[in-house]
Amino acid sequence: MAKYYSIKWVDNAVSMLDQRLLPHEEKYNTYTTFEEVAKAINVMVVRGAPAIGASAAYGLVLAVNAAETEDVGTGLEQLKKAGDVLKAARPTAVNLFWAVDRMVKKAVQANAQTMDELRAVVKAEADLIWEEDADMCFRMAENAMQVTPDQVVFVHHCNTGALATVDYGTALGVIRRAHEVGKDVFAYVDETRPRLQGARLTAWELQELGVPHAVIVDGASGYVMRNKGVNMVVFGCDRIAANGDLANKNVTYNLALAAKAHGIPAYSVRPTSTVDLNTASGDLIDIEERPSDEISHVFGKAHIIPEGVEVFNPAFDVTPNELITGIITEEGIAYPPFEKSLAEMVQKAEDRRKNRK
């Protein structure tokens, strides 16, 4: 485990490291209602697709614990309603929907006879989602080693580390693993305007891990790829469509275009829980638009554009599948054509889960 955590169940409540305050302050907030958890997801106390999924799962534990009923049917109805509130917190990361749907399905199928039984089932499933996440991240990082050169210069986007997951990270987990197994690693970390997940969070995590790195502005990645020996571009993903188009923090599309132009492999690293086989292509993914003051102001303070100027603030973009070299999952690396390889990875993950039961 890292010395810090993004989200954890502590003393019958949800504890989250407030990522809005990093790197200057390391403060954990405690949430005791599902509404508070939904709000924390929305304002990005917690962020990163897998961490959001685990948070929503524990949000549902809070909801069912608070249900003032002894009738299981009523308890299930309240659970579903809480799930809808949690899903509405952020629209793009499919892990949020995946986790809520998985929790509700489990609660229904368990056929609990009492509210205590229902509460136990819901808590156990949330624990499982939390535990599986850290395990999946480590397996992704291990799988990535087969395509990671021994001397590797990465460009990495956004924050995909232990902060964005339950532990270890997705794309940042690959950098971490490469360093741990003794590869010669350097990472260029783009700052990721406007919330600066790269500059604030990724640089903080890499510093903690002792991995050599430098922060660049988002627009410098083309120059860096051309001149600094970059041989691997890695990023995570918030939702991947059945055909391999993927929604991730904006600038991913630009990075993938630049990587292709320079002949550098670009990998998306994410668990199978981020695959949305019900969405045929990236054009159908709902892209979150965030408040304009994220762009017009620096952290709500300095106003950096003229008063009254319009702002457009999509939080994610969609990278077409033809720009992606491979998709690294906990079940292996998916290569084009992604329709087939992704469906296979999802099936493998489902089989693994069934065999564990």
Q: Which residues bind ligand MRU (CB under 6 A)?
A: 47-50, 158, 160, 164-165, 170, 197, 235-238, 248-249, 270, 315
Question: What residue number has its CB nearest to ligand MRU?
Answer: 236
Which of 133, 238, 245, 317 is flagged as catalytic? 238
b/e burial code for range 205-227 (CB count within 10 A of at least 16 → b): bbeebebebebbebebbbebbee
Residue 238 or 330 having the CB closest to ligand MRU: 238
Strands 13-17 and 7-10: antiparallel
Q: Which two tokens stand for residue 210?
A: 């002792």
Quick one: 78 or 248, whose CB is closer to ligand MRU?
A: 248
d(CA 338, CA 323): 12
Cis peptide before 23 (omega within 30 of 0): yes
CB of 55 or CB of 341, closer to ligand MRU: 55
Q: How far is the CB of 302 from ligand MRU (least distance, A)?
A: 21
36 versus 133: smaller Cβ distance to ligand MRU: 133
Nearest distance, CB of residue 236 and ligand MRU, angstroms: 2
CB 237, min distance to ligand MRU, A: 6
Beta strands 184-190 and 151-156: pairing type?
A: parallel
Burial class of 307 by CB neighbour count within 10 A (0 to 12, 13 to 18, 19+): exposed
Q: Which residues of 247-285 are buried (b: 16+ CB within 10 A; e: fewer)?
A: bbbbbbbbbbebbbebebbbbbbbbbbbbbeebeebeeb
Beta strands in 18-103 (DSSP E): 28-31
Choice between 34 and 235, CB closer to ligand MRU: 235
Taking the complex as a whole, how short is the minimal distance between the CB of residue 260 and ligand MRU, in angstroms?
Answer: 19
Return the number of other C-beta atoms located less than 10 Å from residue 1's C-beta: 10
* 71 included as an active-site residue: no
Task: Give the whole-angstrom CA distance, residue 264 versus residue 353.
Answer: 35
- Closest contact distance (angstroms) between CB of 222 and ligand MRU is 20
Q: Which is nearer to ligand MRU, 122 or 247 (CB)?
A: 247
Q: How far apart are CA 33 and CA 49, in angstroms?
A: 21
Instruction: Return the amino acid letter for 14.
Output: V
Minimum distance, C-beta of residue 288 to ligand MRU, in the bound complex (Å): 8
Catalytic residue list = 238
